[in-house]
Structure 1
Amino acid sequence: MDVRGMIADERRRMADLVESLNAEQLRTRSLCGAWTVKEVVGHLVSAVAASRASALLLLVRSGFNLHKANARLAAQMAVRPAGELADMLRAHAEHPFRPPVVGYPGQLTDLQVHGQDIRRPLGLAHDLQPERLRASLDFLVGGRAVGFVPKQRPAGLRFEAPDVAWSWGDGPLVRGTGEAIMMTLTGRRVALADLSGDGVAELRGRMGR
């Protein structure tokens, strides 16, 4: 399956996940800042379903601060019923949206990371696909993950994820599941507890940067 096919399938899987959650779970705070689970879903939907005009208007009202505009757009989208959000994800599963700079690998990684932003606080198994995890891990350490990982975070460390047969880098060792490494590289400190090796302390010290 090519990357666009992976993205489409991840959107459909996200739709299935959304439909399985109750109201309390949707209100739970995610691992993505102050966003609730439902607001994370709203963010994923807005990337493919929000009109360009509404996105541009919010960007202007946010003083051209992309982070603030994205947060407002996600909150607006999250007002919709969960079932409607799931339907929109399925309807736009094969949308050709390609973010600048990070491209399709960035879109795939965004879906996988945000999926875990939802599942981890709810205690749900991730069931991520090894091929897709490897693609995201390669992207995160490849130097083009602008907005995902500061370049200095993985530099000079050795990462090993035996469960997905993936490794990268030289230096003190950081070892764990591919999911835990992906989440840590993208700044989710909770995943540090799932890692081992003499490089974990150094990685923990870089998490604030």
Structure 2
Amino acid sequence: MAAGGQNGAVETDLLPMIAAERRRTADLIDSLTPAQLDTPSLCGSWTVREVAGHLVSPLVGSPWALLPLVVRAGFRLHVANARLAQQVARRPAAELAAALREHAEHRFRPPVVGYFGQLTDLQVHGLDIRRPLGLPADLDPDRVRTSLDFLTGGRAVGFVDRRRVAGLRFEATDLGWASGAGPVVRGTGEAMLLTLTGRRVALPELEGDGVTVLAGRWPR
């Protein structure tokens, strides 16, 4: 799927991919010990358990449940979302996994970023969980390509710092995928997902004359 092909007609093709990622995440959560669930993830200050709560939260509650949290957060939506994720994360891990399976085909469609954003959120947060635990990524190549197209297609609001990636060419060596023009940043699809979404952990895995440029744009 090429960047720029992200329209409403194509978006519905993503629903089976999203369902598969939710089921895959459910299997992952079911496999984790209490200590693993309480391990810090790659996503800010969230634990693995809280990342799971974030992925479950839009599937199990009414949108109106978020409103009081938004008000108490001073209408900062990202803060309210984080608090909701933390609330949902208090549920037993088996319940979180069961909710992902039960609602795997839920048509939750985030504003602005749509189903492309939902698919990408699931894959990146899966890496946020797996990386600190030393677990293999086990990513599906077609889903990764779809998310990389989204992340480099100009519509990934809230996912990509566009100033950081401007004027660079990104190449996923294991997928035959590339996007952009300029100094090259080259690595696996996994490393591309992490880097484009602001996870600095993958920088040492990248090659090319654009890596120094990219690293220099990261906050010190």
TM-score bracket, normalised by the shorter chain, equals over 0.9
Letter in 2 for 1:60: V
**Which deviates more, 125-134 or 147-156?**
147-156
2:44 corresponds in structure 1 to 33
Aligned equivalent of 1:191: 202
Paired position in structure 1 for 2:157? 146
1:114 partner amino acid: H
- Partner secondary structure for residue 175 of structure 1: strand
Tell me which residue corresponds to 1:202: 213
Task: Give a deviation string over 1:78-102, Cα, whole Å, max 9, x none.
Answer: 1000000001111111111111111
**What is aligned with 2:176?**
165
* Letter of the structure 2 residue corresponding to residue 5 of structure 1: P
Amino acid at match of 1:142: G
Would the aligned equivalents of 2:116 and 2:147 in 1 still touch at CA under 8 Å?
yes
Q: State the AA in 2 paired with 1:24.
A: A
SS for the counterpart of 2:16 is helix
Gaps of 5+ in 2: 1-11
* Contact 2:161 2:198 survives alignment (8 Å): no
Count residues with an aligned counterpart: 209
| Structure 1 stretches of 4+ moved >4 Å | none
Shift of 1:23: 0.3
Correspondence 1:46 to 2:57: yes
> Shift of residue 51 of structure 1?
1.8
Root-mean-square deviation over aligned CA pairs: 1.3
**Which residue of structure 2 aligns with residue 120 of structure 1?**
131
| Equivalent position of 1:108 in the other structure | 119
Pairing partner for 1:9 from 10, 15, 20: 20
What 5-or-longer segments of structure 1 have no aligned partner?
none
Instruction: Render the CA deviation track for 1:18-77: whole Å, top value 9, x for unaligned.
Output: 000000000000000000000000000002212222111111111111111011101100
Are residues 1:133 and 2:144 paired? yes
Please give the secondary structure, in 2, of the residue aligned with 1:164.
Answer: coil
Which amino acid is 1:72 matched to?
A: R
Return the TM-score normalized by structure 1. Answer: 0.97
1:81 paired with 2:96, answer: no
In 1, the alpha carbon distance for the partners of 2:185 and 2:45 equals: 28
The residue type equivalent to 1:112 in the other structure is Q
The aligned counterpart of 2:107 is 96
Letter in 2 for 1:14: T
Equivalent position SS for 1:21: coil
2:79 aligned residue (56, 68, 76): 68
| Local SS of the residue matching 2:87 | helix
